[in-house]
A and B are shown apart, each in its own frame.
Chain A
Amino acid sequence: MPPPLLRLSDISKSFGGVEALKPFSLELEAGTVLGLVGENGAGKSTLIKLLSGLHRPDGGQIALAGRPCSFGSPKEALDAGIATIQQELEYASHLTVAENLLLGETWPRTFFGGVNWRSLYAEAEQRLRDFGIELPVRSLMSRLTAAEKQEVAIAGALARRARLLILDEPTASLSEPEVARLLTHLKRLRDQGVTLIYVSHRLDEIFEITDRIAVLRDGELVATHETKQVSAGQIVHDMVGRPLEQVYPRTRSGQTGEVLLQLDGLTRAGMFEDVSLSVRAGEIVGLAGLVGAGRSELARAVYGLYATDRGTVRICGRQWPLSGPDRALRRGLVYIPEERKRQGLVLDHSLGSSLSIGLRDSLSRLGVIRPRREQVKVQEMISRYDIRATGPEQLIGTLSGGNQQKALLARWLERDPQVIILDEPTRGVDVGAKAEIHAVIDRLAAAGKAVLFISSDLPEVLGMSDRVLVMNRGTIETELRGERMTEHNVMLAASGLDIE
């Protein structure tokens, strides 16, 4: 019996003391499709990076067709026959399809030493035809649709004799018919003997195409199942089952007041569709869903950063025409963005000026910031939100992630807004800061504010919220309250499956 195409024995990887992958073993037979599932941060991307040569494992061994191998670079992995189609495709958008397909290879030459374009295009066309698609090879890569770009990438990988093809969230930016087309292609490849690892959040696709499913959770391989013998419920259970229960603060009474934020049929084509929701005073409403479900886009649109196509928003009962963040702030709505370094802070500005920028209107008179008042206010904010820094002069970029996040919260919450939209407020912060941020959010609701809480951390969003809305592909799939607020149900709804 021939050795399995891929054998991982006890491979592990940690980053700076954090175990991204705990030692595990896995085998993959040639010509089969393995589905790889897990929540955000479960270790899927780390595993892909090990296989594609971006990282080296700390321990254990990767064997390809029985031969142990070690990849120092993506090129070495590719040469060994492992090709990875990343979620964010990399290509030269200003070159033609043909040039992209043959990038890095020796191009056919003419007698005079120039490029023999005719045979280059012919070769490219041949490669696409081998894969079973027809595309204009002379057109620029940037003109193709997302699906076509992906097909070019796959065709390119196959032309380099890839034996193992890894697809990382290949359908994240595809429409339904494009997904169906991709799956058809992949099934044909499998029948031709190519081995596939298919990574996706979307369980329906996983069930359609895979032979086996491996579930990762918190860096551990918790289970592998034969696809035919397992239910979606079991997979979701494996993905979320968590031994540790965390305690979430709840000082708020649970009594809710009038509706402070109301969305009716809000739509922006391609981002979110017909979203209606309301948040009352004193209430924390969780917004759960997979990455790319349209939660952040929705939040930013409500904040006035994007125009919308249809629908209305009311803040504190008044119609809100979405006319820009400066107006939103004056109306009493704040949005605390998910990427604090890119969307929130100027890293080489001081903590003090990073805090006071949020209060620039109330701190100034005749357009002049009053220095004494600013100083007092900044000190107040630093102690109230327990921001640990050497002083207001310290550069914000030199603070820890948790303290940066607390500073960002302080900047906006000090305005005393009525409606607060938090987008992944605890991403990348340590456990201590996380608990402090949870306490701050709870106090907001206790003080009668309306909080819309976006988080991909399931226990957190369930533990913090009074009720949870689950988004999937731009629409609100369902609302969960009380008993039904379980990780299981959230994952089912987020993957577009029916709740049991």
Chain B
Amino acid sequence: MRFISQIASNQRVNRLLLVLAVELFLFAPVCGVQFSSFGAFQSSFASLISDLLAQAAPMIVLSVGMTLVLMTGGIDLSIGAMVALIAAVMARIDVDYALWSTAVPIGLLCGLALGFFNGTLIARLDVPPIIATLGTLFLFRGFCEILLEGQEYGQFLDVPSYRWFGTPSGGLLLVGVILGLGGLWFSFSRVRRELLMLGGNRVAARYAGIPVFRRIVQVYTLMGGLAFVAAVCLTARNGSVSASSFSGMELQVIVAVVLGGTRVEGGNGSLVGSAIGVLMIAVLAEGLRGASMFHSDLLPFKIQYLEYVLMGGLLIWGVWMNRQVGGQDASH
């Protein structure tokens, strides 16, 4: 309960929720929500929300990892490529019905290993995070191309109950477990304090006996594990993977996390804020998609093309707003 009251008292989260509500209200009519009767509204609104949730679930999972990464003062640009590579590895292990016992565990190991590799580069070899993960972005993409040889692979949807992870209820469960339970534990954990101190002042963290290198490697490894979960989610919806799948996803996740109030310089961060950030972007994308279907003749160009313009604007506005609210304690 303390947790809920803590969130409710957080000005930044409240403000984000308000923006999200306004956004939903504005976009709801173009997304097929009907206002003719209460019953119609209820069912159409519920279907919009579950669509949004299914769509946003993998992004929320990734945003949890990215929040932790940014908290330590790092960044991970490789996650889009990492998700694709994990999916590619799972797709290439060509044993359709044994996917659950073969490809999935191997995918998980692969995710953890890729994350561990990132973390090791950054912590042990002292490569700046932005460069290290830019490098691994290309590496992972390259491996994708080698593995997939320019073809599109997909037997995911043939696997019994795999599809479930792409459904609203599957997404809800994953988000519930990872953000809900994991996030709840994390928000009170000792590790969170250590990461905050590490991101705020690395020298002081070392002097305070925080195992700096180990924590950094752990955070990037966790990011890899979460990339695996996202890969399962996404392939369960798309049913296939190609060498260029999920590119640009890392930037969307970073936008969402920063929008949610996490400081890029490290030293603070909010998982709830990041999840709301993801939803804000999802509502925007969904709204534009809806608008283009219903009102295609309003503008001289496809209304969907506005997505990036609005996302950019939202990010700049969001960061500015965070600065305004800023000046509060970064560690609570």
Contact = CB atoms under 8 A, between A and B. Distances in A.
Interface string B307-332: 00000000000000000000001111
Nearest to B326: A348
A345 B204 contact: yes
Interface in A337-373: 337, 342-350, 353, 356-358, 360-361, 363-364, 367-369, 371
Contact of A350 (B188, B191, B204, B329): B329
Interface in B177-226: 185, 188-191, 193-194, 196-197, 200-201, 203-204, 206-211
Nearest to B202: A346
Contacts of B188: 368-369, 371
Nearest to B329: A350
Contact of A329 (B191, B196, B209, B332): B209
A57 to B, nearest CB: 36
Interface residues of B, number: 25
B196 A368 contact: no
Contacts of B210: 326
B201 A345 contact: yes
Given A360-B193, A368-B188, A353 B332 contact: yes
A324 interface: yes
Contact of A325 (B2, B209, B332): B209
B196 A349 contact: yes
A393 interface: yes
B2 A305 contact: no
A337 B207 contact: yes
A358 B206 contact: no
A346 B190 contact: no
B200 A325 contact: no
B208 A342 contact: no
Contact of A342 (B185, B204, B331, B332): B204
Contacts of B111: none
B267 interface: yes
Given A324-B211, A329-B209, A346-B331, A353 B203 contact: no
B329 A349 contact: yes
Given A324-B209, A335-B207, A357-B208, A349 B200 contact: yes
Nearest to A330: B209
Contacts of B191: 367
A458 interface: no
A367 B186 CA distance: 9
Q: Which of A328, A346, A360, A393 has the most CB of B within 10 A?
A: A346
Given A324-B209, A329-B209, A357-B208, A350 B332 contact: yes
Nearest to A345: B204
B331 A325 contact: no
Given A364-B190, A368-B189, A393-B329, A349 B197 contact: yes
A356 B189 CA distance: 12
Given A356-B193, A367-B190, A343 B209 contact: no
A375 to B, nearest CB: 11
A325 B197 CA distance: 15
A395 B331 CA distance: 10
A335 to B, nearest CB: 7
B45 to A, nearest CB: 37
Contacts of B185: 367-368
B190 A360 contact: yes
Given A357-B193, A371-B2, A348 B209 contact: no
Contact of B330 (A348, A356, A360, A364): A348
Interface residues of A, number: 32
Nearest to B208: A357
Contacts of B2: 371
Given A369-B189, A395-B329, A348 B200 contact: yes
B203 A343 contact: yes
A439 B88 CA distance: 66
Given A357-B193, A360-B194, A368-B190, A346 B209 contact: no
A467 to B, nearest CB: 27
Contacts of A360: 190, 193-194
A324 B196 CA distance: 20
Contacts of A344: 204, 207-208
Contacts of B200: 346-349
B243 to A, nearest CB: 39
Nearest to A328: B209
Contacts of A350: 329, 331-332
Given A337-B207, A343-B203, A348 B329 contact: yes
Contacts of B330: 346, 348-349
Nearest to B201: A346
Nearest to A337: B207
A210 to B, nearest CB: 39
Interface string B222-234: 0000000000000
Contacts of B331: 346, 348-350, 353
Most chain A beta carbons < 10 A, residue from B188, B189, B194, B331? B331
Nearest to A411: B208
Nearest to B3: A371
A356 B193 CA distance: 9
B189 A346 contact: no
A346 B193 contact: no
Nearest to A303: B207
A325 B190 contact: no
A329 B189 CA distance: 20
Contact of A348 (B207, B208, B211, B267): B267
A195 B171 CA distance: 79
Contact of B206 (A325, A348, A356, A364): A325
Contacts of B196: 346, 349, 353
Contacts of A348: 200, 267, 329-331
B326 to A, nearest CB: 9
A395 B188 CA distance: 20
A326 B188 CA distance: 21
8 contacts: A324-B209, A342-B201, A348-B329, A349-B329, A350-B329, A367-B191, A368-B188, A368-B189
Given A305-B206, A361-B190, A364-B189, 19 more contacts: A303-B207, A324-B209, A325-B209, A329-B209, A343-B204, A344-B207, A346-B196, A346-B197, A347-B200, A348-B267, A348-B329, A348-B331, A350-B331, A360-B193, A363-B190, A367-B189, A369-B190, A371-B188, A393-B332
Interface of A: 303, 305, 324-326, 328-329, 335, 337, 342-350, 353, 356-358, 360-361, 363-364, 367-369, 371, 393, 395
Interface of B: 2, 185, 188-191, 193-194, 196-197, 200-201, 203-204, 206-211, 267, 329-332
By Cβ-Cβ distance, the 6 closest A-B pairs, closest first, are A346-B200, A325-B209, A326-B209, A349-B331, A353-B331, A350-B329
